[in-house]
Chains A and B, each alone.
Chain A
């Protein structure tokens, strides 16, 4: 069974903290993605990666960075968390041939 896991379901951090969100997939997919989802704004792509050590900016990369040292793991980093980064963060991986995308359970991040 296809599985994408995220390190935390809920996270509360203080303004200025460095935050790491981890995502792991067990399907050997090359493509992985980080989105944030906010009411009224839908899903917005932050960063994506087509392979190990590769990263591409999405629509809203400002304030974020990513790391992909291993194929199965894609990390999202908030260098200095701010209150406007309070959101639901969703990780996804995509199967290359058919293009089906699979999502993790999400991390609800609150920055106070």
Chain B
């Protein structure tokens, strides 16, 4: 059974810093990997979707990479802002969709 791990569980950085969030998974036979953002008490907002054949995807200040063979993905956030404060979850799809527990990011002004 696929297991998805996100480290660290929480991260606090000063505004303007570049940062990397990590996601690892145990079974490399995936269809895709998706990164989400969740604000407190809200639903999940899709940020980036990477297909298994892709290495990375970019959207604005966000860049997600995928290394299937090593079972890893990273979400890079450039020039972080207080509005980026949220919980970030990754999810991998094989026959099911499995979610990590998330990384709670705080960006301090």
Contact = CB atoms under 8 A, between A and B. Distances in A.
Check if A and B associate.
Answer: yes
Interface of A: 4, 33, 42-43, 45, 88, 90, 92, 94, 98-106, 108
Interface string B7-46: 0000000000000000000000001101010000111111
B96 to A, nearest CB: 7
A99 B46 contact: no
A104 B76 CA distance: 25
Given A90-B44, A105-B42, A108-B41, A100 B102 contact: no
A98 B42 CA distance: 24
B49 A99 contact: yes
A103 B43 contact: yes
Contacts of B31: 99
A91 to B, nearest CB: 8
Interface of B: 31-32, 34, 36, 41-46, 49, 51, 89, 91, 93, 96-97, 99-102
Q: Is the interface of B mostly helix, strand, loop or mixed?
A: strand
Nearest to B91: A101
A42 B101 contact: yes
Contacts of A101: 34, 46, 91, 97
Nearest to A104: B43
A43 B42 contact: no
Given A98-B32, A98-B49, A98-B51, A103 B44 contact: yes
